[in-house]
Amino acid sequence: MSPDDEPSVDQRVLRGRRNREAVLDAAIELMEEGLHTPTADEVADRAGVARRSVYHHFEDLDGLSAAVADRHFARFADLIHPISSDGPFEERLSTFVGQRTAITELGLPVHRATRAASLDSPAVAERVAMGHRFLREEALQVFSTELRRAPAWRCEAVDQVSSIDGWVRLRVNQRLSPLRARRVFEHTLRAILTGSN
């Protein structure tokens, strides 16, 4: 390859990266709008690329779903900050509730889509399970002082209440506003962990 060819190669690489990102963004947008399993044609149309471009960047729709799950989980990274298990309970509770509600609210629009995809896609199911494990371990670590001598059911209750499924129930099934759902979440965790209301 001559030096004169390098800029055109770079442009093709950049265009390919932009198209791949556009496909991922389009799939996420469609899911956030309620289309849980968008087709390749719908994704391509939203991304402004040819249908073949979807399959150029992803082997199949399962591969696209796995990449969407990876991108979606990566969005959480900026919101996750380690919370010490030391310090006053109310301070830890407030910090944990703030962080967890931000994460679960962000995940709400794509939750049903990833759940649906995980039924048919081992790759997506693995990513969903990994997310659940991370959120469970974080909750149990933050409140390890309160759970140290607690009966096992308290650990399971903390996990359930602080899961994205618990947030879905408050926000979707019970139709609570984010503020009311956060208050219920915080009061319920406090009751489980301290026996008070």
In whole angstroms, what separates CA 84 from the centre of its chain? 22
Cα Rg for the chain, rounded, in angstroms? 21
Q: Are 132 and 180 part of one and the same domain?
A: yes
**164 neighbors 111 (Cβ within 8 angstroms):** yes
Q: Does residue 185 share a domain with residue 96?
A: yes
Q: Using CA atoms, how far apart are residues 134 and 52, in angstroms rounded to an integer?
A: 36
The tokens of 173 are what?
Answer: 């099934």
Asked whether residue 115 falls in the same domain as residue 158, the answer is yes
Q: Which element (helix H / strand E) includes 116?
A: helix 89-120
| Tally of domains in the chain | 2
32 and 100, same domain (yes or no):
no
H or E element, residue 62: helix 61-76
Does the residue 64 lie in any domain? no
Examine residue 69 and state whether it is found in any structural domain, yes or no.
no
Verify that 93 and 187 share a domain, yes or no.
Answer: yes
Q: Residues 113, 177: one domain?
A: yes
* Same-domain pairing of 85 and 38: no
pLDDT tens digits in sequence order for the chain, 197 residues long: 455 555 566 887 788 788 899 999 998 888 888 787 888 999 999 999 999 988 888 888 888 888 888 887 787 777 788 999 999 999 999 999 999 999 888 888 788 778 877 888 888 888 889 888 999 999 999 999 999 999 999 999 999 999 999 999 999 999 999 999 999 999 999 999 998 54
Which domain covers residue 181, as residue numbers? 81-194
Quick one: CA torsion of 126, 132, 133, 134, rounded to 10 degrees?
110
In a domain? residue 74? no
For residue 94, being part of any structural domain is answered with yes
